[in-house]
Amino acid sequence: MAFHSGYGHTAVLAEAVARGVASTSAEAVSFPVDAITDEQWARLGAADAIIFGSPTYMGTTSAAFHTFAEAGPRRRAVQSWAGKVVAEFTNSDDKSFTLGSFATLAAQHGMHWVDLGPLPSRGSTTGSENDLNRLGYFAGVGGRSPNDAGPEAVHKSDIATAEHPGTLVAREAQIFAAGHVARAA
């Protein structure tokens, strides 16, 4: 997982995503992109899947995440991400451009997109804001926490929702890997 979190809220979601991966037989490795090392770039290149995460700053991914994304093409000649499974998460209002930005980045790298999974909870009269996907996003995790409170204020529903892409991505990556083995046989 490659993510940025300036003030800790998105990092809470990143921990939940990692728990989702860990609930499967897959290994989750998390890298804050503002301190990424050459070794971590190499691990991203070797991974079956990458999950991107960023807070929404000024309507899109943070400057730190942009810096990471812009560094990718320089590395791509030797570490292509094509064919890897990908998912995403963000935190704030104004999430649509951030989610769209992740989608474009994934498409530019030729990655296989995995949608969020849980349907919007309030698309039904029985749903509430305490259920999964309370804010109604299909493309990825869209959380919302108050600006005047710390990471402890990240909503329980958003945390629970963020465990899903980790689980789904791990499952899809295993299916892809098994498919490649079967195809080569």
By DSSP bridging, strand 49-57 and strand 2-3 are: parallel
The candidate with the shortest Cα–Cα distance to 93, out of 33, 157, 150, 136, is 136
Is 72 among the residues that bind ligand FMN (CB under 6 A)?
no
Q: Smaller CB distance to ligand FMN: residue 31 or 57?
A: 57
Angle at 47 between CA 34 and CA 21, to 5 degrees: 85
Which residues inside 132-161 make contact with ligand FMN, applying CB under 6 A? 145, 147
Q: Closest distance between ligand FMN and the C-beta of residue 151, in Å?
A: 7
Considering only 7, 70, 110, 175, the residue that binds ligand FMN (CB under 6 A) is 7
Burial of 164 (0-12, 13-18, 19+ CB in 10 A): buried
- Contact between 138 and 115 under an 8 Å Cβ cutoff? The reply is yes
Considering only 31, 41, 52, 57, the residue that binds ligand FMN (CB under 6 A) is 57
Size of interface with ligand FMN, in residues (CB under 6 A): 18
Q: Smaller CB distance to ligand FMN: residue 65 or 81?
A: 65
Q: Closest distance between ligand FMN and the C-beta of residue 90, in Å?
A: 8
Considering only 27, 70, 94, 129, the residue that binds ligand FMN (CB under 6 A) is 94
By DSSP bridging, strand 2-3 and strand 31-32 are: parallel
Burial of 11 (0-12, 13-18, 19+ CB in 10 A): buried
Q: Closest distance between ligand FMN and the C-beta of residue 15, in Å?
A: 12
Q: Closest distance between ligand FMN and the C-beta of residue 103, in Å?
A: 18
In angstroms, rounded to a whole number, what is the distance separating the alpha carbons of residues 124 and 53? Answer: 28
- Contact between 45 and 78 under an 8 Å Cβ cutoff? The reply is yes
Q: Smaller CB distance to ligand FMN: residue 60 or 121?
A: 60
Considering only 1, 2, 5, 161, the residue that binds ligand FMN (CB under 6 A) is 5
| Residues binding ligand FMN (CB under 6 A) | 5-11, 55-59, 91-94, 145, 147
